[in-house]
C-alpha cells in the first residue's frame, strides 16, 4: 500500500518499524523475567492517548507495565543507538522514540538530544516518493515528530496520530 499520508505512522514502513520496536521492547522485558500477556504491550503503546481506551483485564495494570518499560528505557535507547539499521539508518531509533512518547514513557535528556540529532540526520521529502525509495520522513512528519519531542514531558503520552479536529470531525461523521 505504501504511504497514505505525510505524518508519522501514515505509511507501511512506519508501521512495520513500529512492530519491530514493539517486539524489541517485549523481548527486553522477557529477558528481565517480566511476563506479559499477549498483546498487552501493544495495547499500551497504541492506546495511551485514547481517552476511550479501557484495557482488557490483565494480571498487570497498564501503569505497572509502563513502570517496567521505564526501568529499561535507557537500555532500550542504547540498543537502538548501537544497532543502526543498514537500510533505515537512524529512522528506527526515531520510530522507537515516537513509540515511547506515545506511551508516555521516560526519556532521559541525553536520549532526547540523540532523537533530535537522529531526526535531523534522517532523510526527509516534501511530498510523493516512489514506495521503493521511501525510507524516511515526509516533511510534515518530521515537523510533527520534532514538535512532539520539543514539548514532551515524561509521563504524559503524546498523540502522534494527527490533529484533534480531524478525529472529532470523523467522530461526528461516524455518528450521523
Query: Which of 5 and 63 is assigned the larger pLDDT?
Result: 63
Residue 122 lies in a domain: yes
pLDDT tens, position by position, 19-61: 888 888 888 888 888 877 766 677 667 655 555 555 555 556 7
The pLDDT, as a whole number, for residue 120 is 93
The pLDDT, as a whole number, for residue 169 is 44
Residue 5 lies in a domain: no
Residue 6 lies in a domain: no
Give the three cell numbers for residue 135: 525510507
Residue 158 lies in a domain: yes
The pLDDT, as a whole number, for residue 20 is 87
Residue 89 lies in a domain: yes
Distance CA 118, CA 93 (A): 7
Residue 91 has pLDDT above 80, yes or no: yes
Length of the chain: 176
Which residues form the domain of 85? 12-175
Residue 2 lies in a domain: no
Residue 154 lies in a domain: yes
pLDDT tens, position by position, 96-154: 999 899 888 999 999 999 999 999 998 888 877 776 767 788 888 889 899 999 999 99
Residue 53 lies in a domain: yes
How many domains, in total, are found in the chain? 1
- Are the beta carbons of 45 and 103 closer than 8 angstroms? yes
The pLDDT, as a whole number, for residue 165 is 40
Amino acid at each position: 500500500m505504501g504511504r497514505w499520508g505525510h505524518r508519522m505512522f501514515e505509511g507501511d514502513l512506519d508501521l512495520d518499524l513500529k512492530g519491530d520496536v514493539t517486539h524489541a521492547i517485549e523481548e527486553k522485558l522477557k529477558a528481565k523475567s517480566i511476563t506479559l500477556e499477549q498483546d498487552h504491550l501493544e495495547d499500551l503503546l497504541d492506546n495511551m492517548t485514547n481517552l476511550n481506551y479501557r484495557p482488557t483485564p490483565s494480571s498487570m495494570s497498564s501503569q505497572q507495565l509502563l513502570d517496567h518499560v521505564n526501568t529499561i528505557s535507557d537500555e532500550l535507547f542504547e540498543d537502538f543507538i548501537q544497532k543502526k539499521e543498514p537500510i533505515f539508518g537512524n529512522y528506527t531509533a526515531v520510530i522507537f522514540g515516537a513509540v515511547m512518547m506515545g506511551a508516555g514513557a521516560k526519556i532521559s535528556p541525553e536520549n532526547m538530544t540523540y532523537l533530535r540529532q537522529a531526526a535531523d540526520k534522517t532523510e526527509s521529502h516534501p511530498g510523493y516518493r516512489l514506495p521503493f525509495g521511501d525510507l524516511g520522513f515526509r516533511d510534515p512528519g518530521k515537523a510533527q515528530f520534532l514538535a512532539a519531542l520539543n514539548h514532551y514531558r515524561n509521563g504524559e503520552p503524546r498523540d502522534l496520530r494527527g490533529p484533534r479536529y480531524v478525529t472529532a470531525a470523523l467522530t461526528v461523521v461516524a455518528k450521523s
